Amino acid sequence: MRYYFLICAMSMVFFLSNYAYAIGVGTIPGVLDLGEVKRGQTVVGEFYITSTITQPMILILNYIPPHYSIFQKEKTRAKDGYEFKPGEASEEDISSWVKIVPSTVLISPDDKKIIRLPDGGSVAYNQKFSVKIKIPDEAEPGYHVGSVNIAIKPKKTTGEGASISTLGITRPVFVFRVSGNAFRDGKIIGVEAKRLSDNMVRVDVLFKNTGTVTYTASFDKLEVYDDFGYKTGNIAVRMNNKVKPGEIIVLSAYWRDSKGIKSGSYNVEAEVSYITGKAKFSGPLEVLDEIYVPKEGNVLKEEGGINIPWWYLLIILGLIALYIYWKM
């Protein structure tokens, strides 16, 4: 039996070695620093594609937002090869600014070119593509980041049945800074309580972006204290939202207590973070007896649920009835 499994394992290794292989695709540079740019300017940067392919491949290139972790680390050109300061970083959507040229690339192991690096070294590459960015006149100041997604598939050739067993792709990133005064700042301007039931109260924290760039505000903490200074209730805080400069958003937490939540005055401590800073609030919270009912046209969301007006349902049912009638 032992020899049987050994023979099977060796056969599988032989099979995979003939019909599957591993490849890697990357770019030079991994992060492209486009430097300081002005509003209304068009800037172009180039990436050089490197690979370990053994047969022709087709690459599909498109813009993709960068991983959020890049906004959490400061970088310097001398050490990291590019410059980036989280305190001056904007998270506004730049997808409409970016064009990848070309969007489809054919690379081949037989097509190799040489690029000379600034340090005097050289690297072989298969192809290159450009990132063309049109900076709008209303662009926010500060550092902006984007990335390029690389989708890869083998070029179909007659008589070849090999498949990719391991695929490693490194997404290239580009960074640039729009000139101007860029900084992150924010404050909590108020806290409100809205009773949803005898056992649950929604606590809304009103947060304002007082900086000059768009960023993600994370609702990190909400604690409620009774008259004796003891924490009360079970409060779930799991929320974050993007907020533009000057914009006020509502970040909500849900305060639950199976024994019921009494009306009256409580003390709260709230905290909202935005990577490079935190906004804190400490003050009173008034909980009323009345159940909160949203104004008509508003949709109250809680735990993923929605409240749909009854007349929407009547219209939908009427349309379904008409569709059935005309099909008969």
Q: What is the pTM of this model?
A: 0.78
Every domain of the chain with CATH number 2.60.40.10 lies at 16-178, 186-295
Q: Determine the topology of domain 186-295 in CATH.
A: Immunoglobulin-like (2.60.40)
The confidence score (pLDDT) of residue 176 equals 98
* Weakly modelled stretches of the chain, pLDDT under 70: 1-21, 154-167, 228, 233, 295-328
Rounded CA-CA distance 24/126 in Å is: 12
CATH number of 16-178: 2.60.40.10
- Cα angle for residues 264, 268, 269 (degrees, 5° grid): 180
pLDDT of 214: 98
CA-to-CA dists, residue 214 to 87, 183, 184, 316, angstroms: 11, 10, 8, 39
**pLDDT score of 300:** 38
Query: What whole-number distance in Å separates Cα of residue 208 and Cα of residue 231?
Result: 27
pLDDT tens string 230-239: 788 678 777 8
Residue 188 has a pLDDT of 97
Write out the two tokens for 139.
Answer: 């662009």
Which residues share a beta bridge with 276?
none
Query: Measured on CA atoms in the order 286, 289, 295, 301, is the torsion positive or negative?
Result: positive
Residue 13: predicted pLDDT? 36
pLDDT at 305: 41
